[in-house]
Structure formats: C-alpha cells, structure tokens
A and B are shown apart, each in its own frame.
Chain A
Amino acid sequence: MKNIRIIPRLDIKGPNLVKGIHLEGLRIMGKPENFAKFYYENGADELIYMDVVASLYGRNSLDEIIKRTSKETFIPLTVGGGLRNLDDIQRVLREGADKVALNTSAIQRPGLVKEAAKEFGSSTIVISIDAIKMEDGSYQAFTDNGREETGVDVEEWAKQIVDLGAGEILITSVDKEGTGKGYDIELTRIIANSVSIPVIACGGAGEVWHVFDVVKNGKADAVSMASILHYNIVHNSGTKGNFKTEGNIEFLESNKQFTKIKDASIREIKNYLLKQGLECREVLGEEDRGFVR
C-alpha cells in the first residue's frame, strides 16, 4: 500500500499568498487561508506554508495566518521559513502547525535538527532542501530562497539529515521552480534512493503528467506543487481585488493565465494518477466546492 500525497505549497509574503519563478519575482495571488481552505475541502492531503521572506528580513508574519488556518482545516500543516531555533519551532507548533520545515538554520547548524527531533519528535521535523544543479552535474544546497551558496552536496546532506533524526525531506529544484517545465527527476531520484525516510518532490509542475513522472521515475513519496493549482483557482474564479496589496499585483490585474502552466485541480491530478495505476486518496463528491474569497 503506497498512497502518494498531493501537497499544495503556499508561499507567503506578509499577508499574501505569492508565487514566483525560481523563487524570485513574486506575484500576489490572494489570501493564503482562503486557498488553504479550498484545497482542504477539495482533496489536499496536507498543506505547506512557506514564509518566503522571513529568513531574508528576519520577520515572521505567519503567526496569525497559521492560527486561522488551523481552526478551519483538519489536515496536516507544515510551516517553514525563518525558523531559527527551538523557540521558533515551538511557537509555530503552538499556533497550530503540525510539522516544521527547516532549511537555512539546519544547514548553518545541523545540531538543531537533532535537538528538534528529540524535543518534538522526528515526524515533526521536515528538512527543506533548495537544490541547484552545478556545471559539473552535481547538486548543491542553497539557502535564503536559492540565493546563498553553501557548498553542501545535496545527497551528502540528505543522508546526514536522516542520521540527525529528521522525519521527511522536501526537495525543491530551484532551477525548475515556477517554470512549469516539470520536476527535476534526476535530483528527486538521487535523494529518494539514498534515504529511508519519505521524500516530497517540489518545483516545476506545469501539467498533470509531471506529477506522475516524478512519482514513477523520480521515486517521490509525495508531491508538492503551487502554480498549477493556484492558477486553476484564478482561472476558474478569479481573485482580483479585495485583499491587502503588497508588492507586484500586475499579474492579478491583468488576469492573464500564465501560459507555460496547464493548470489543474487536485481532483484532476489524483484522477490522472489513479488512472495510471498509482494509489492515492480519492477526492470525494462529484465536483469541487467553490472558492470563497
């Protein structure tokens, strides 16, 4: 029995859900908690909230969003972005997160992973790796949304993470992220084959087939995606106006579909996986429940 998890990833900046390309050039999509509720009601297996500016500017505005989300959604919520120490982790867990994703702080001080796993349990600790393919073909871990080079080889790091007691790995290809060109299959397979804990693939989904590809050929245990799902909501219902604006809202105002992405709903993704013989939790009911702004 191997049930593939479909996990919407919501990148958050201030009060808004945002989406960029290669983790840069953020566009505002709407209120994260509304997207979260919609995904919860329409078949998401888990949710990931990533505060994309927290580790850059040292601020963490997620708290209220987490609190509101955890009262309305009853699936696991992983929160990452700017968590530096055990106190930060404790805080987001107390606000209603079920797991935390650590990246920069874990690479800077691997001992934190061990302490966190001991304090909160291995299954609570997800290590997020942002990987970039180097000229020599190797993959290197980057921090601060793919800006800071670390010199750490991702495969070595993944193995070390398991020894330190982490429960899962979220592997994001910065090269593919937001492009819609498909997941980095090679990267995902390298990690999935070298560790005994579940691996969540992230970055690059541009059509339903890509999700199947990274499970079948990348050996991912779970798949995370953003644009393909967010654009489906914008596509079907539009989310113009009526939210706090901060940053680039050009995309929403133009109301254009992002051309490289063939958007899809979780239902469409799961039905496709099931048809291809993979196992996942079916989305119940005949059609999706509406998006409430």
Chain B
Amino acid sequence: MLDKKVVIIDYGMGNLFSIKNACAHVGIESRITSCIDEVLSSDGIILPGVGAFGKAIDTLESLGLLLVIRSSIESGKPFMGICLGLQLLMTESCEFGKHKGLNLISGSVKRFENEVLDNRILKVPHVGWNEIILKEKIGSKSGHTFLKDFNSCEYMYFVHSYYVEPEDKSIVLTTTKYGSIEFCSSIQYKNIFACQFHPERSGEKGLQIYRNFRNLLVGS
C-alpha cells in the first residue's frame, strides 16, 4: 500500500464501496468519510456521486464540505470527480430547477432528450458501455496524465441522464456519442480529473485510471 491517504467523500450518494475496492486493488489506501479534518489532511480526493445535483450540493453544504472541497482543489491536491462528481464542478445545473455548482469549471449541466432514432426511443438514462474518444490536442500538453497510454478509443461504463458542457473546450479530455449528441465525457484541468463514466466499473482499462491516479500521488 502507498503511504498516501486518499479520501472518498461520503455524502450519502452512490456506491462508494466499488471505488474503495478499486483503490485497494491498485494499492491506494482510501477512507470513505464526510469528516472535514480528514478531507483537509488527505493527499488526494475522490468525489463520487450518483443521484440528484441539487440534493448533492445541499448535502455537501450542510456537512460543511463545499468550501473544504473547493479550497483543497485550489491548493493543488490531486482530485478525481466521478459522474455527479464531475457535474458538481460546473457553474450550474438545470436538473429539477436551477442549481448552483462549485463553479470551479465554467459551464453547465444538461439533460439528454428522449429523441427517436431508427424507430427506437433513445433511452435515458444512458446506461452501458460506450467509447471515449480522446482529444488528440491534449496529448501534447501536460494534461493527459490520467489517461496515460490509452488508445484513441476505449470503452467505459456510463450511467447518467445529464452531461456537462464546459465553456473552455481545451479542458475536454474525451468525448462520447449518445444519440445525436457528442458530449464531454471527461476533463482535465490543472490537478482536476473528472469523468462522466465510472472507471471502477469499467474493467481493466478503468482500473488503469486508478493506477494513473496512484502514480500522481507518488509524484505529489
């Protein structure tokens, strides 16, 4: 086990245990917690989440974690956001009325429509494996660290009805196509990596993202 402590932020939403198992599998010691001090003293943060945006923000606020997460990210600590943990970084979401997010990334969160394609209703939520298309431009930059050694197309597991639209397209690491929409499926910006898919449920390639996270922790 690595001598670095990672916290998986527990605000009552999502399967945190599969994330903990993935961390353990690649040798990252992690704790599931909602304790402010533990988050502050951690070496890395994972913000998971499945469920409603508004409720998540309200719960994080009431636990006193909103400011702590923001200041930790701003301090440069390696950060990984998963699913709702990506969406929460945005300016705002339109899920069940307008809600303000962490606003660490300028942009908004939008919902898939039940469009009809080839006589089939596009099912929402988008559930299942889909390709992530690597944006090549980023490969030449300092980014890309979380998807090191990835091919241009890899399959990852998705479960979501909403997707993010960041204003700054240069932070988009991968995109994914669903229905007629090509949405942003992961971003990398400074110490932040966040993805719409679930790497801990995406087989060996997904675990590779956790290994890359581990390598970042070693270097930090």
Residue numbers in A under 8 Å from B91 (CB-CB): none
Decide: B114 and A281 in contact? CB cutoff 8 A: no
Binds B, one of A53-61, A92-100, A105-113, A253-261: A92-100
B89 to chain A, nearest CB (A): 19
A262 to chain B, nearest CB (A): 26
Q: Quick one: which of B51, B128, B157 contacts A198, CB cutoff 8 A? A: B128
Name A264-293 residues within 8 Å CB distance of B: 280-281
Q: Quick one: which of A94, A97, A123, A281 contacts B129, CB cutoff 8 A? A: A281
Decide: B200 and A198 in contact? CB cutoff 8 A: no
Residue numbers in A under 8 Å from B114 (CB-CB): 196
B126 to chain A, nearest CB (A): 9
Residue numbers in B under 8 Å from A95 (CB-CB): 17
Name A189-235 residues within 8 Å CB distance of B: 193, 196-199, 219, 221-222
Decide: B15 and A196 in contact? CB cutoff 8 A: no
Q: Quick one: which of A3, A94, A124 contacts B130, CB cutoff 8 A? A: A3
Residue numbers in A under 8 Å from B143 (CB-CB): none
Residue numbers in B under 8 Å from A93 (CB-CB): 15, 17
Q: How large is the interface on A (under 10, 10 to 19, 20 to 34, 35 or more residues)?
A: 20 to 34
Residue numbers in A under 8 Å from B104 (CB-CB): none
Binds A, one of B37-45, B166-174, B187-195, B202-210: B202-210
Decide: A75 and B201 in contact? CB cutoff 8 A: yes
Task: Provide the bound-state CA to CA distance between A221 and B125, in Å.
Answer: 12
Decide: B200 and A74 in contact? CB cutoff 8 A: yes
B155 to chain A, nearest CB (A): 5
B172 to chain A, nearest CB (A): 18
Decide: B17 and A5 in contact? CB cutoff 8 A: no
- Bits for B3-28, please: 1 = Cβ < 8 Å to A, else 0: 00000000001110110011011000
B76 to chain A, nearest CB (A): 29
Decide: B22 and A74 in contact? CB cutoff 8 A: yes
Task: Provide the bound-state CA to CA distance between A222 and B204, in Å.
Answer: 21
A116 to chain B, nearest CB (A): 12
With A95-B17, A96-B17, A196-B114 as contacts: A123 and B125 at CB distance below 8 Å? yes
Residue numbers in B under 8 Å from A85 (CB-CB): none
Work out how many contacts link A and B, with CB atoms closer than 8 A. Answer: 98
Decide: A123 and B160 in contact? CB cutoff 8 A: yes
Residue numbers in B under 8 Å from A177 (CB-CB): none
Name B175-220 residues within 8 Å CB distance of A: 176-179, 198, 200-204, 206-207
Closest to A123 in B: B159
B29 at the interface (CB under 8 A from A): no
Given A122-B125, A199-B123; 15 other pairs, CB 8 A cutoff: A3-B129, A5-B128, A45-B157, A71-B24, A75-B201, A96-B18, A96-B21, A98-B18, A121-B13, A121-B50, A123-B159, A167-B159, A196-B114, A196-B123, A281-B155
26 A-B interface contacts by CB (under 8 A)? A1-B130, A1-B131, A3-B155, A5-B127, A5-B129, A40-B203, A45-B128, A70-B21, A71-B25, A74-B22, A74-B200, A74-B203, A74-B207, A75-B202, A76-B159, A93-B15, A93-B17, A98-B15, A98-B18, A121-B51, A124-B15, A167-B127, A193-B121, A197-B125, A198-B128, A222-B127
Chain B interface residues (CB < 8 Å from chain A): 13-15, 17-18, 21-22, 24-25, 50-52, 114, 120-121, 123-125, 127-131, 155, 157, 159-161, 176-179, 198, 200-204, 206-207
